[in-house]
A and B are shown apart, each in its own frame.
Chain A
Amino acid sequence: MKRIIYTISAALLAISCTREAPRGTEPFLMEFRLPEELSAGAYYSGQKVYLNGVASYEFETDIRGMVTVESIIPGIYDIVTGMEITGAQYKAMAGNSVAVEDRARVNIGVSLMNQRIFSAQDLQIQLKTAILRDLMISKIYYSGTKDNMDRNYTTDSYIEIFNNSDEVAYIDGKYLGLAESVSPAAYPSSENPDSIFLRQVCRFPGSGQDYPVRPGGSVVVAARSARNHTESASTSIDLSDADFEVKTMEGSGNPDIPMLPLVTNSTSIATLNLLSGGPNAVVLFETDEDILSWPQVYQRGKTSGELFLRMHRKWVMDGVECLKKPAQTAPDVSSKRLQDDIDAGYAVITSVNGYNHESVERKVSRYEGGRYYLTDTNNSSVDFVILTDPTPRKYDKEGLQ
């Protein structure tokens, strides 16, 4: 980046003295360099490059990622290029160490604004990687709190899903799953590099475009009960405007809130059973397969009890690992259920058993155009903070900035 600025400033100095009539530049080369993690032996070849300014040009990079510009009208241009690949392709190029879900869209490109191109100076342009996720998990509140009589209060748990893109996204048909939470971990990711074992899965209703989420907007899922919980627990929250309530029958519970049905369930608990002390590994996923056709397995060595749905990790759109905090030691990282490319880190609340109204919330990356953009590096240790204010849909909390 710096190099580009230097190059441009040098060019500016060079041309500032000339006062000649515009004429085409001499031929020059634009070299597009792939981001460092991809650059080993790979080139940005065959991609369209757009220059928009005093005139519009379209080029295509050659096999070595170069564009030879014969002549253009000198002026100020925006240089825009990009290619979109899937997370799986990206990892194939970059090696699996990179934290990206298979389902993610990865944009490799650049958009350089107001470039002054007046002389035939060769340009070296560094491309950047942008992993595009539209829907992502932004808040998980599972700790519960204490009610006004100081008793444990756990029915106020919820999960919030946020649209971080600039386009309207649709929650229709997406799945929300909780990974197994047996202690010790029945199927940790360290032993299962490709699969996640789910104890509960909910499927959002809708047939495609019934439940839109506006850019910067979110969907709140009341895991147990969509109502104003502050009535009996002052430190709790109001979920009476939740978008969904997990229940078994439409019309039970809060009749005004639509049902989010459980598709698979390892127990007979009829709500989304977020554990107040953790661990809760939450995944948002989409698939065109029938998830009921996926294998279901018991805990290793058992023939009864909970049946877990085995999912390939390629379907994951976003996942957040919330580990249980042991009484004296650090959380047991070997018990992580999500692979490092889905969540390279973990979130953990400060209490062993919960009940301290702490929620796991995604940090704000920036505020722009009247909406928030949230951080997403697929590392919950970095992306998430623990707040004692679990209010849903609220992104101007101090700790999030």
Chain B
Amino acid sequence: MSFRYLKAFLASVILLLPSALSVTASGQTRVKAVTLKVKIISATDGQPVTGASCLVTDYGIFDIADQNGNIRLEKVPAGKAEISIQMLGFEDYKETLNIQRDSSLTIRILESSLTLEQVVVTAKSSAAGSSTSSSIGRMAIDHLQATSLKDIMQLLPGQLMASSDMTSEEKLTIRTLNASTANNAFGTSIMIDGVPMSDNTSISDKVSGSTGGSGVDLRQISADNIESVEVIRGIPSAEYGDLTSGAVVVNTKAGYTPFEIRTKVNPTTLNTSFGKGWKFSKDAGSLNINADYARASGDPRNKNRSFDRVSGGITYSNTFSRIWSTTTKVNFSSIVDLRTVDPDLLVEGTETTQKQYSIRLTHNGRLSLNKIFSRSLTYALGLTMSDNESRTSSIVSADGGLPVITSLTAGYYQVPYITESYRAGGGNVSTPVNFYAKVGNVFTANTSKVKQRFNMGAEYRLESNKARGFYNDDDFMPLRPTSNGRPRPYYDIPSLNQLSGYFEDNLTWDITSRMVFKLQGGLRFDMLQPGLPEQVHSISPRFNGSLKLTDWITLRGGWGQSNKTPGLAHLYPEPKYMDREAASYLPSDASKRMVVYNTRVTEVQRNNSLRNATNTKSEIGFDLNFKNGMTASVVAYRDYMANGFGNFTEYDVYYANYYTARQGIAIDASGNPYIQWQNPARVDTVFTTSGRIGNTQASLDRGVEFDINFGQIKPIRTTVLLSGAYMETQTWTTGPNYSSPSGIPASSVYAQGGANTPPFKLLYPSGLSKDINRRFSVNLRLVCNIPRMKMVFSASNQVIFYQYRHTTNQKSDPIGWVDTDLSYHEITEAMLNDPSYTIKGVLLSAQRKNPADSNPVTQPPIWLMNMRLTKDVSRNFGFSFFVNNAFFYMPYQSSSYSGTKTERNTGTFSFGVEMFVKI
């Protein structure tokens, strides 16, 4: 069935190919190919820059500079072409050249340092015609003194400034104000060196409390080893898949670097790293190593919580025969997250340790084939293996009497009734293994007016998590003697197989000499678990377009869908255990006590009713580029996801008996109680859910982002940048909205059985209650750089003008009811209008919900100012200093709703210093 889609996709690829060819073949003005020779030298000392990569972005033609800094770009179609040169430790070079014949030129590239006239310590917006994104370079990361990837996100428009303390999981969300829904973080793809970090195999850890399928924990990535980050907020290229919210593309350091030691100290974090890169002799490539140690404690006075990270990596890069460039990396990281009580109280307290060891192998290659149908062929291989272990030890409170229910199968069991609290230990082991392979190909087709770059590829992922899972040290003394505490091994959870393919056309059409139309149109196909009952697949079309009207104004827009496949946590939920007391006979004579429980197991072995979560993104905006250097970019966006992953309610009904001393419990000759199974005092009809996950979480994110660079005020050498966003996020659930009827008297048989024995379940319309968040925030950054002093100073002034939160609470009438035989009955308008209509003796008119709408809460404006300074004392030594909330502004303000004054900007004040030595 789904192969039909695959066929359709392949067919469309095949159909598109000849059309692309026809442009090449039939174009009467077929352009001639030229050869361009470039010599790349350092602007500082005029030495050739070995290893610099040079890419003709329009055509995908590239080369790596040899020992003498020489680059040879062949078969470049004559005409305008943008070339981009990148080298570790140097500023990126981008220039559009007009090449009409074979030529050679020399390009000087600038070494990154504070002596440069223009230093970029903020995020740069992407050019129109491609995905809306922000790129953040090494200088910005240094100036920010980031310790983890999450810190970097505050440079994006609309994101608030924050300082992280690393003692809790850090997950990335894009363009949302509701960070509590897991879908946004789960749908954010983190690509490191071309290989995604996957959270598909994570399963909720009952020991540390982390939820499966809720996004990658970013603390394992050290910021010091990052060369650049690109955050794609808009419609990503079809090349990026398995995502909904956006993608974060991280490149780590490779190639030659000087020996460098960095140390950051602030009240919550200590972070030291070193790195060194070597350039070997001719054809032997280069090697880069790095290591990083970070220790964080949320509160310096509090030694009960700590976080330790040791990470490092080795990178080897080499280019063979000038056409095959490779980068191979081995990275490891070890995280120890500790939560304990005061060591003096350890005898009585709880201690939880979370350890995560991971090793990551990536290999990237690029073949500059320079053939008609394959200008360059790229591939990436990645293997990530982790060993995550959480351990906890705590005293389980018996609270006077605790039935210890451990049965893994259904039935009635006499259970131990413990009156003394006991010490229990247990843990959770998971070993996610993620394998990723990707092949991509780029070729171009050009006429004098229209340039096309075709980008296509295929991906395969194999992901599994076969491990011990959740366990108790002693199964009869469980950590959680309740329904949710059964051991859960992961061995029988299937592996995930995912196949994807994409095809994309990047078209540039020079309408006139000034007017340019660009279109990126792509299609992506993803299929998870092919051939299995739970197979899911999706097709994601994506478009980004721009129209440059004149030199100074460009319009941009886009529409696209992106799909996130469910993870193991969604596809293979844990069996649901329902334990009900069947008898509780607790006479004063403790030796005669008897407690019996009924256990019911509901299992969703393969969740075959899930679909991919689909996010539909649309954007429209404009870019302005003035001659005086001022630029402005404004984008309005709308992200709508109707089917994010969330709980799905479905009912099953069973009968459970209850025995009492009056009926069903008899006393034998020796005075011991026993159950007369055929004589229950009460039989409950129990509704139970299955624990299934469905596509029930909807969200709508919309807003306007802007990024304005006013340029440098020359006399004071200060650049003024203004960025901000008005954002709105709405979240609601779309799954069936059941609830038990209200007003069942406590003495009735339905109430005696507890919460799960109502006479019936009522179905209400879903999605009426929405969480609405709105925020308008602006960040004015003043960056002053004085090259002669080798110093950059920046002040970020953030003002949140408007903050709004509202949970709507609409009137709702039941639309149907589910009887105890699971039959569904509709509730009509006539029934609702009849004030005396009853369902099984329950008054229907009492089930109409007509609440007073809750009040929206708005907060008064608040500002915050952070200051940073970076100075190179010499070529080899420098430091940075920061103060967050420099004026210690923490006012007491009251919201529109409550007169209670609460402190704002709490936790924002911090300061720290970073020093670095380069040899």
Which residues in A have some Cβ–Cβ distance to B below 8 Å?
A: 147-156, 200-201, 224-225, 227-229, 231-233, 240, 248-256, 261-265, 267-268, 270, 292, 296, 298, 300-304, 307
Contacts and interface: CB of A to CB of B under 8 A. Distances in A.
Given A151-B399, A200-B746, 12 more contacts: A147-B398, A148-B420, A155-B400, A228-B588, A232-B421, A249-B681, A253-B584, A255-B660, A262-B746, A263-B745, A296-B742, A301-B809
A389 B661 CA distance: 33
The 10 closest A-B pairs by CB, nearest first: A251-B660, A303-B849, A251-B662, A268-B755, A255-B661, A151-B397, A251-B661, A155-B400, A149-B421, A265-B746
Contact of B401 (A225, A292, A301): A225
B754 A301 contact: no
B658 interface: yes
A249 B854 contact: no
Interface string B826-860: 00000000000000000000000111111000000
Output the residue of A152, A155, A268 with the most chain B CB within 10 A: A268
Contact of B400 (A147, A296, A304): A147
A225 B398 contact: no
B745 A154 contact: no
10 contacts: A151-B398, A228-B588, A248-B752, A250-B660, A251-B660, A252-B583, A255-B660, A302-B851, A303-B809, A303-B850
A149 B422 contact: yes
Interface string B410-425: 0000000001111100
A156 B400 contact: yes
Interface string B626-665: 0000000000000000000000000000000010111101
Contacts of B397: 147, 149, 151-153
B395 A151 contact: yes
Given A251-B663, A256-B587, A301 B399 contact: no
A227 B419 CA distance: 11
Nearest to B588: A240
Interface string B569-591: 00000000000000111111010
B107 interface: no
Contacts of A268: 751, 754-755
Given A231-B590, A261-B747, A302-B809, A150 B755 contact: no
Contacts of A154: 399-400
B277 to A, nearest CB: 54
B597 to A, nearest CB: 13
B419 to A, nearest CB: 4
Nearest to A149: B421
A153 B396 CA distance: 12
Contacts of A231: 419, 590
Given A149-B421, A233-B400, A304-B849, A256 B395 contact: no
Contact of B587 (A255, A265, A302): A255
A147 B420 contact: yes
A225 B586 contact: yes
A318 B661 CA distance: 34
B746 A263 contact: yes
B743 interface: yes
Contact of A249 (B739, B742, B752, B849): B752
B752 A232 contact: no
Nearest to B663: A251
B682 A249 contact: yes
A251 B663 CA distance: 8
A252 B658 CA distance: 9
B115 interface: no
Contact of B421 (A151, A224, A252, A263): A151
Given A240-B588, A296-B742, A265 B751 contact: yes
Nearest to A248: B752
A232 B419 contact: yes
A255 B752 CA distance: 17
B400 A225 contact: yes
B348 interface: yes
A370 B588 CA distance: 31
Output the residue of A200, A225, A300, A303 with the most chain B CB within 10 A: A303
Interface in B150-206: none
Given A148-B420, A225-B586, A301-B851, A155 B399 contact: yes
Interface in B744-784: 745-747, 751-752, 754-755
Interface residues of B, number: 46
B754 A249 contact: no
A22 B851 CA distance: 81
Contact of A252 (B420, B585, B751): B585
Given A151-B421, A251-B665, A254-B587, A264 B851 contact: no
Nearest to B418: A232
A265 B755 CA distance: 11
Given A252-B583, A300-B852, A301-B809, A264 B395 contact: no
B745 A249 contact: no
Output the residue of B400, B419, B584, B739 with the most chain A CB within 10 A: B400
B709 interface: no
Contact of A232 (B420, B586, B663): B420
B812 interface: yes
Given A255-B585, A265-B746, A307-B742, A250 B662 contact: yes
A252 to B, nearest CB: 5
A153 B399 contact: yes
A259 to B, nearest CB: 10
Nearest to B810: A303
Nearest to A262: B746
Nearest to A229: B400
Interface in B668-686: 681-682
A254 B853 contact: no
Interface in B385-437: 395-401, 419-423
A213 to B, nearest CB: 23
Nearest to A250: B662
B342 to A, nearest CB: 13
B421 A147 contact: yes
Contacts of B421: 147-151, 232
A330 B755 CA distance: 36
A95 B790 CA distance: 82
Contacts of B743: 296, 307
A147 B396 CA distance: 11
A62 to B, nearest CB: 54
Nearest to B754: A268
Contacts of A225: 400-401, 586
A263 B752 CA distance: 11
A217 B665 CA distance: 34
A249 B658 contact: yes
Nearest to A267: B755
A165 B681 CA distance: 40
A147 B658 CA distance: 30
Nearest to B349: A150
Interface in B718-750: 739, 742-743, 745-747
B751 to A, nearest CB: 7
A232 B398 CA distance: 9
Given A149-B420, A296-B743, A227 B398 contact: no
Contacts of B742: 296, 304, 307
B399 A252 contact: no
A153 B400 contact: yes
Given A233-B400, A301-B809, A150 B752 contact: no
Contact of A150 (B348, B584, B739): B348
Given A147-B420, A268-B754, A155 B663 contact: no
A262 B662 CA distance: 19
A253 B586 contact: yes
Given A251-B665, A261-B747, A304 B587 contact: no
A171 to B, nearest CB: 18
Nearest to B751: A265
A140 B682 CA distance: 32
A304 B850 CA distance: 10
Contacts of B665: 251, 255
